[in-house]
Amino acid sequence: MTYMVQINPATGEKVAEIKEKSQTEVLAAMTRARAAFPAWSQTPLDRRLAFLRRLRELLVDQIDEVAATIAQATGKVQVEAVMTEIFPTADIIHYYEKRASDFLAPKRVKTPFVFWGNHSYVEYKPMGVVAVISPWNYPLYLSIVPILSALVAGNCVLFKPSEVTPLVGVLIEKLFADAGFPADVVQVLHGGRETGQAVVSAKPDKIFFTGSVATGKKIMAAAAEHLIPVELELGGKDPMIVFADADLDRAVRGALWGAFTNAGQVCMSVERVYVEAPVYDEFVRKVVAATQELRQGVEFGSMTYPLQMQLVQAHIQDAVEKGARVECGGHALQEGTLYFAPTVLTGVNSSMRLMQEETFGPLLPILPFATEEQAVKQANDSEYGLNASVWSQDLVKAKRVATQLISGNVCINDVITNVANPHLPFGGVKHSGIGRYHGPEGLHTFCHQTSIMVNKGTKPREINWYPYTPELQDAFHTLTRLLFGKKRSVPFPALKNLFKQMLRTYRKQNGQPWQGEQKNLPM
Active site residues: 233, 267
Q: Distance between CA atoms of 413 and 195, rounded to whole angstroms?
A: 42
How far, CA to CA in Å, does 450 sit from each of 49, 122, 126, 447? 23, 6, 11, 9
Give yes or no for a contact between 501 and 514, defined as CB atoms under 8 angstroms apart.
Answer: no
Q: What is the DSSP letter of 420?
A: G
Bridge partners, residue 108, by sequence: 121
62 φ, ψ to 5°? -105, 30
Q: Distance between CA atoms of 451 and 173, rounded to whole angstroms?
A: 36
Give the distance between the most distant pair of CA atoms in the chain: 96
Helix (H, G, I), strand (E, B) or coil at 334: coil
The per-residue DSSP string of 208-266 comes to: EEES-HHHHHHHHHHHHTTT--EEEE----EEEEE-TTS-HHHHHHHHHHHHHGGGG--
Give yes or no for a contact between 193 and 174, defined as CB atoms under 8 angstroms apart.
Answer: no
C-alpha 68: how far from chain center:
26
The one-letter amino acid code at 266 reads V
Give yes or no for a contact between 290 and 259, defined as CB atoms under 8 angstroms apart.
Answer: no
Q: Distance between CA atoms of 447 and 372, rounded to whole angstroms?
A: 42
Q: Distance between CA atoms of 328 and 416, rounded to whole angstroms?
A: 24
Instruction: Kindly report the length of the chain.
Output: 523
Residues whose CB falls within 8 Å of the CB of residue 23, separated by 6 or more in sequence, listed in order: 194, 195, 198, 201
Q: Distance between CA atoms of 400 and 380, rounded to whole angstroms?
A: 14
CA triple 17-192-137, angle to 5 deg: 85
Q: At what angle do helices 45-61 and 141-152 cross, to 10 degrees?
A: 160
Residue 325's H or E segment, with its range, is strand 325-328
C-alpha 410: how far from chain center:
14
240 φ, ψ to 5°? -125, 120
Give yes or no for a contact between 283 and 256, defined as CB atoms under 8 angstroms apart.
Answer: no
